[in-house]
Each structure stands twice: as structure tokens, then as C-alpha cells.
A = this chain, B = another copy of it.
């Protein structure tokens, strides 16, 4: 895979690099600047980002492949709406791949890697002690990405990054369940311990348990949102925003 992030795209001029409409548009979509299902008109975007329509068009092609938008022929692009079902599918795939990477990390981890992991764990413990759930949540992906780096399977990492950018916009937070952060920390500790012990089977199992709980939590979030919507209106059982 060539670019797992805007990183590996060889150097280019910085001026072009920071203005690349593709990256800017991606960030805008991921951070929610556009509503799900909102139309993305090429001319408007070209104006907004001070680029030609050609560049925008290329960006849309890329984002389409990444699954962040949908394009219908002659009808333009809209930001893609992730259904609850698809969010679940994404999490399942993530589950499978993170387990693979966890195994690999357990085999390959060097002492420097372990130091980093333990440092992140310590920071997480601190956030939890301060009841800083938000801070804890931000550390979560850091730990996982550090594990990815140890495993060094570029193909799997690229897939995970792409999936992440899709699911991040899904409305279902997975940590906000009462009591979850404390349990999550214990699970993370078990994973790191298994990596430190260079025990791939244990690491796989620990990661499986961790992400299994995440899946349950996601299901819980979906259900509770469904229940909530069932009260107000009785439409669109699969979609999640009324457009």
C-alpha cells in the first residue's frame, strides 16, 4: 500500500502539501464539518478550497475509494452515511486485524517498544484516576497504533487506518458506557503484559476479549439509540440521521 496516511506521499512542496484539497476535504468530513448525506458540489468545493475543479474531482475519487463519500454517475457526491450494521461490520474486521497485529507484536516487540507501551498505560491510569474519560479516550488509539507499529504489517495497518477514518464518523461512541473505562484499562494492561511475555496466543486472546467488549458496547450503543429513535419516530430503521 502506498500511503497509510498523508505521510508517505513523497515530499512535494510544502505549500502544495498543506493545501492538498484531498487531505483538507478528508479532514473536514472526518471532523464532521459536513452532515452525513450532504451533497458535495464540485464547484462549491473548488471555491471553498481555492483549487480547480480538476483537483477536487481527483480528491472525490480518492475519498470515494476510501469509503468516505458515495458518488453516483451524473448525480454527484455525498458524504457517506454509515449504517449501524456497517459500523458493526467495520468493528468486526477491526477486531480480526487487531488480533493479527497483536500476535505479531508479541513476537517482535523489543524493549524500547515495551517502554513506550508502558508509558501510554501509565498515562491512561493517570487519566482514569482523575476521572478524565475524554483524555483516556484520546490515549486509546495511541496505544493501539503503537502496537500496530511493533507488528509492522503495513498491509493490515493501511486497512485499519482506512476503516478507522470511516467509523470515526459513526455516531456510536464506544467508551461512554458506565464503568467501561476502568474495565478497558484492565484489558489494555493484559494485552501489554502478553506482549511483554512474548506470548502470541495470550496476546491474541487478550485483544480478542478487549475488542469483544468493544463490540458488545457498540451493540449496546446501537440498541439504545434505536430505542431512543423508536420513541420519537418510526422511520428508517437502518439509517441513523434523518438527512
Contacts and interface: CB of A to CB of B under 8 A. Distances in A.
Interface of A: 1-2, 9-10, 12, 57-58, 61-62, 64-67, 70-73, 80, 86, 89-90, 92-93, 95-97, 99-100, 104, 153-156, 159, 163
A86 B10 contact: no
Contacts of A71: 2
Contacts of A154: 86, 89
13 contacts: A2-B70, A58-B58, A61-B61, A65-B65, A86-B155, A89-B154, A90-B155, A92-B100, A92-B155, A95-B100, A96-B96, A155-B163, A159-B159
A67 B10 contact: no
Given A93-B97, A93-B156, 13 more contacts: A1-B67, A2-B71, A2-B80, A9-B73, A61-B61, A62-B65, A65-B66, A86-B154, A89-B153, A92-B153, A96-B100, A96-B156, A155-B163
Contacts of A156: 89, 92-93, 96
Nearest to A89: B155
A153 B92 CA distance: 9
A67 B2 contact: yes
Nearest to A85: B154
A10 B73 CA distance: 8
Contacts of A65: 61-62, 65-66
